[in-house]
């Protein structure tokens, strides 16, 4: 492992790492479920469904998944509803804005990569973190979603950074795999959508329980 003190770039996951989006995701999933008469999903079910993009989220939420003949229609209803309602209950986790402000003051370059659809990622990052993070990349037809390294590679290119100067911060097994595939040191966070045990099992090099602990690792 490279010396953590030599790093100057941080790539963050979004949902479950910087912002808590579960309530708004649940509301939009259940709006789509109600439109088609499917059973509603609980918050804990949504927690286990997220991480691989909205297509997978709806696939996991509806009966018979992608084999359901209404899958594509249901996905579109979800996306349309979520696009208009994704800031109703979503907010940064406690301590995140203070962390980003400190990282900016220390001269770190920062980006967000997410499996949420690209327009939503850009809107949410601009709304909550526009003073700190200028590079935000989500799922689109032009780039493979995580755990493929494509979004990370694109973010590093836009920042003018190199993989050996960057760390990756995320909350899920998808994030640990993304970091591995991108050849970045992974810092897992336990306040998001997965447990410490999941992060340890997948092989995150560092695990933190509070945002400010990231500074201790970098010091």
Residues 159, 69 share a domain: no
Catalytic residues: 13
Residues 29, 13 share a domain: no
Residues 70, 133 share a domain: no
Q: What sign results for the dihedral spanned by CA atoms 177, 139, 112, 197?
A: negative
pLDDT at residue 4 in the model:
52
Give Cα separations from 179 to 90, 97, 129, 147 (angstroms).
Answer: 25, 23, 22, 8
First vs last Cα of the chain: how many Å apart? 16
pLDDT at residue 5 in the model:
58
Structural domain for 137, as ranges: 4-20+91-218
Residues 118, 15 share a domain: yes
Tokens of 151: 């979004």
Into how many domains does the chain fold? 2
Residues 211, 151 share a domain: yes
Q: How far apart are CA 172 and CA 195, in angstroms?
A: 8
Which of 37, 61, 85 corresponds to the end of one domain? Answer: 85
Contact 159, 127 (CB under 8 A): no
**Closest listed residue to residue 22, CA positions, set 61, 63, 53, 50:** 50
Full pLDDT tens readout for the chain, 219 residues = 445 558 999 999 999 999 999 999 999 999 999 999 999 999 999 999 998 999 999 999 999 999 999 999 999 999 999 999 999 999 999 999 999 999 999 999 999 999 999 999 999 999 999 999 999 999 998 899 999 999 999 999 999 999 999 999 999 999 999 999 999 999 999 999 999 999 999 999 999 999 999 999 988
Residues 63, 32 share a domain: yes
As a dihedral over the C-alpha atoms of residue 96, residue 100, residue 102, residue 106, rounded to 10 degrees, the angle is 150
């Amino acid at each position: 492992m490279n010396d953590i003190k030599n790093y100057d770039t941080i790539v963050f996951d979004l949902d479950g790492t910087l912002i808590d989006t579960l309530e708004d995701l649940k509301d939009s999933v259940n709006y789509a479920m109600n439109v088609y008469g499917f059973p509603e999903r609980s918050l804990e079910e949504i927690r286990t469904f997220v991480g691989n993009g909205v297509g997978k989220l709806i696939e996991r939420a509806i009966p018979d998944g992608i084999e359901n003949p209404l899958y594509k229609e249901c996905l579109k209803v979800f996306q349309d509803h979520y696009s208009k309602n994704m800031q109703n209950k979503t907010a940064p986790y406690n301590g995140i804005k203070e962390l980003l402000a400190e990282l900016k003051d220390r001269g770190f370059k920062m980006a967000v990569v997410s499996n949420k659809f690209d327009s939503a990622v850009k809107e949410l990052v601009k709304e909550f973190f526009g003073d700190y993070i200028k590079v935000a990349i989500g799922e689109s037809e032009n780039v493979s979603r995580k755990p493929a390294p494509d979004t990370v590679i694109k973010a590093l290119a836009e920042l003018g950074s190199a993989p050996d100067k960057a760390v990756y911060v995320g909350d899920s097994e998808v994030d640990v795999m993304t970091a591995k595939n991108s050849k970045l040191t992974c810092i897992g966070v336990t306040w998001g959508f997965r447990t410490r045990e999941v992060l340890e099992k997948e092989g995150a090099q560092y695990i933190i329980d509070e945002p400010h602990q990231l500074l201790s690792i970098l010091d």
